[in-house]
Structure 1
Amino acid sequence: MITEWLIYPTAIAAGLLGGVIGFGTSILLMPFLVQLYGPIKTIPIIALIAIVANSARVLLWWRLVDRRSVFYFSVSAVPSVVVGANTLVRLTPQLVEICLGVFLIAMIPVRRWLAKQAKHLNPPHMMLVGAVIGYLSGIVATTGPLNTPFFLALGLSKGAYLGTEAAASLVMFAAKGLRFHQLDVIDMQAVSQGLIIGAFVFAGSTLSKRMVLALSEQTFMRLMEAVMLISGLSMLWMAVA
């Protein structure tokens, strides 16, 4: 019961965090949702919440969105996310929890490494990125931490990065939600909860715009890594508890 009441203020905070650093909304909400609905149902609920959250970021930064990069990313991400979703429904709940926790923690050093390696990308390169990210997105609740270095490597920053990454993710999560519906993983409870929680996330996202330009890059990185570590450890604890 406590968790049910906590989810709504947490959703506002998650929307604010995601609006500032480009991801984190799903990561922050995941432990609460897994406790309430279980790991399998959490994935489609997160997909619906992500659609709302990314829609808010696209609206906030619409004029700065790199549409070519979004197009190339989406071309490969949409079919890949369908393949990933098909994989998810064959996994056991405990295995999903462990995968989520390990994935989040592992993305801390991986993100740092990718940030050093991916220095110059062009929009067509995003087709390969979309294929990998799309498949992973079908299996795990969020790939925002992995998206970040690739979209930054396009030369995008702050508002342009936030809007472009959100637009690409919006297309991918829409395909993901549709596939989950076809697989009967999503039911009316998942839809209603995803939209209700998403409304609180949207409210938090609208508060983020003024904060974006005031934050330094170092603060961005600290926020991202702290959220990833805490949420990843929480998921692993729930898997073995």
Structure 2
Amino acid sequence: MLLWSLIFAVSTLAFGLSAVSGGGAGLILMPLLGLAVPAAQVPAALSIGTAASSLARIAAFRRAVRWDVVRHFAPTALPFAMLGAWALSRMDPVYLNLLLGLFLVGNVPLLFRRTPHMVNGKGADGGTPRQAWLSAIGAAAGFLSGFTGAVGLLFNGFYYRLGLRKEEIVATRAANEIMLHLLKLALYGAFGLLDARGLAAGAAVAAAAILSSLLMRRILPYLHERLFRHVGHVATVAAGVAMLVAAGGQIARQDRLALHYARAPTQIAASLSWRRHVFAVEWEPHDELELSHSIRDWTLGDRPRAAAPPHSYILHVSPHKGLYGTRI
């Protein structure tokens, strides 16, 4: 009972922050839901809560929904979400998550930039957003939602550039994403990823999401536009750091990524191991720099042997002999 109460309380807070920041509730709730349901049930339980949150936000801010944005965004988002789910079954998304993390962290300068004056209903340049641009953003959001599960925080800048008021951002973002959440739930149900315990966890998260939306309806009008956007930028950068750490750790484990460093009185050596590749740099005692690439022999164990393995190429940079290469 204590765990379910904790899930409800944390979910209420997480979805309240998500309404302001543009996303991130999943990053907060996934570890906690993992204590209540099996790992395979966590995405389904979270999707139930996220879908309920979007529906509640649409109901709470229905007059603020920009349907002109939704009708160009949603039609391309749905098919590309299915394409993203198909791509997920064919490839590992961890490297894409790493790139997305770098993209999100790239928003750091926005934390120190003054928010320009925005005209309601128009972009930062005062122009009306083009239909093709909205459709392209919808396709990108749909694909990434199906492939990585990340949508909200990645596209914060898209909503800011449209010049929408904070209520319009919350409502329009929910209207754009509701179909994606419902599609995910249908797929989870078809694949048997929803059982009684997962539904119970999803119901607790959904109840908290609805309560959070009702609270945000009263709080949001008192939140300054500049603070609203600043919170969104902070959340974006924080999510980027979290994605970099998570993706980096997963890559290091699955691809055997490792750094080695050794120093002697007259010699310095460092190497980077990735999968079967070993990239090394050595400073020799006769002022010669050696850059090498080799293919690791897994039969020798995880650590590269002292001598260069087979299939090695060494590039020598010497003040006496110049630039030359050797193959071993």
Fold shared by both chains (TM-score > 0.5): yes
2:140 counterpart of 1:143? no
Does the 8 Å CA contact 1:14/1:25 hold for their aligned counterparts? Answer: yes
Q: Higher helix proportion, which one?
A: 1
Q: 1:43 is aligned with what amino acid? A: P
**CA 1:204 to 1:105, structure 2 compared with 1: closer, same or farther past 3 Å?**
farther
Partner of 1:172: 180
Ranked by relative contact order (alpha carbons within 8 Å, sequence separation 6 or more), the top structure is 1
- Deviation, 1:10, is 0.6
Q: Distance in 2 between matches of 1:30 and 1:100?
A: 16
Q: Distance in 2 between matches of 1:217 and 1:99?
A: 32
Flag structure 2 segments of 5+ consecutive residues without an equivalent. Answer: 117-122, 254-328
- Deviation, 1:62, is 0.6
Q: 1:163 is aligned with what amino acid? A: A
Seq. identity, %: 23
Partner of 1:163: 171
Which string of whole-angstrom CA distances, capped at 9 and with x for unpartnered residues, describes residues 49-104 of structure 1? 11111111111111121112112111011111112223345677xx76x8668745
Does the 8 Å CA contact 2:48/2:202 hold for their aligned counterparts? Answer: yes
Q: 1:9 is aligned with what amino acid? A: A
Q: Distance in 1 between matches of 2:154 and 2:144?
A: 10
Does the 8 Å CA contact 1:19/1:209 hold for their aligned counterparts? Answer: no
Greater Rg by CA: 2
Q: How many residues align?
A: 237
Q: Higher strand proportion, which one?
A: 2
Does the 8 Å CA contact 1:11/1:29 hold for their aligned counterparts? Answer: yes
- Deviation, 1:228, is 4.5
2:128 counterpart of 1:131? no
2:115 counterpart of 1:107? no
TM-score (norm 2): 0.60
Does the 8 Å CA contact 1:27/1:228 hold for their aligned counterparts? Answer: no
Partner of 1:198: 206
Does the 8 Å CA contact 2:188/2:194 hold for their aligned counterparts? Answer: yes
TM-score (norm 1): 0.79
Q: Distance in 2 between matches of 1:26 and 1:42?
A: 10
Does the 8 Å CA contact 1:28/1:227 hold for their aligned counterparts? Answer: no
Q: Distance in 2 between matches of 1:146 and 1:195?
A: 27
**CA 1:150 to 1:14, structure 2 compared with 1: closer, same or farther past 3 Å?**
same
Does the 8 Å CA contact 1:111/1:146 hold for their aligned counterparts? Answer: no
Superposed CA RMSD: 3.5
Partner of 2:284: none
Q: 1:190 is aligned with what amino acid? A: G
Does the 8 Å CA contact 2:48/2:205 hold for their aligned counterparts? Answer: no
